[in-house]
């Protein structure tokens, strides 16, 4: 089985920065695409950024130029550097990974979420 553990959330003022981390563990053969999603109160979960195994990236329009997704394949870890944070970035941020498991095929996994709160 695979587990994703997130860290780095917290409370910051508008204009500040946070760096989220998500480390995958388990019987992993290969982590394919990874991504960050977020869900604000009363809203649906939305895609923030994704990154392929070869570090091709994609961002939601709302975070382009402010957020940067990256990964360390040797550590099975994905990061989200968040700069110039706005109050509307406040949400629970979830890590997602498309994982090929040794001898068990391929499945999608989610972290438990980490709270990001941006004050004005």
Helix (H, G, I), strand (E, B) or coil at 73: helix
Q: pLDDT tens across 22-52, in order? A: 999 999 999 999 999 999 999 999 999 999 9
Q: pLDDT tens across 61-99, in order? A: 999 999 999 999 999 999 999 999 999 999 999 999 999
Q: Contact at 8 Å (CB) between 8 and 67?
A: no
The Cα 115–Cα 9 span in angstroms is 5
């Amino acid at each position: 089985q695979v587990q994703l553990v997130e860290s780095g959330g917290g409370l910051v003022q508008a204009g500040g920065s946070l760096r989220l981390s998500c480390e995958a563990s388990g019987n992993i053969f290969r982590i394919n695409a990874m991504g960050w999603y977020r869900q604000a109160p009363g809203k649906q979960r939305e895609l923030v950024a994704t990154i392929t195994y070869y570090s091709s990236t994609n961002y939601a329009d709302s975070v382009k130029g402010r957020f940067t997704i990256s990964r360390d394949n040797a550590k099975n870890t994905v990061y989200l550097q968040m700069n110039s944070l706005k109050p509307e970035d406040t949400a629970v941020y979830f890590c997602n990974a498309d994982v090929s498991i040794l001898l068990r095929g391929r499945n999608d996994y989610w972290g438990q979420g980490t709270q990001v709160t941006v004050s004005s």
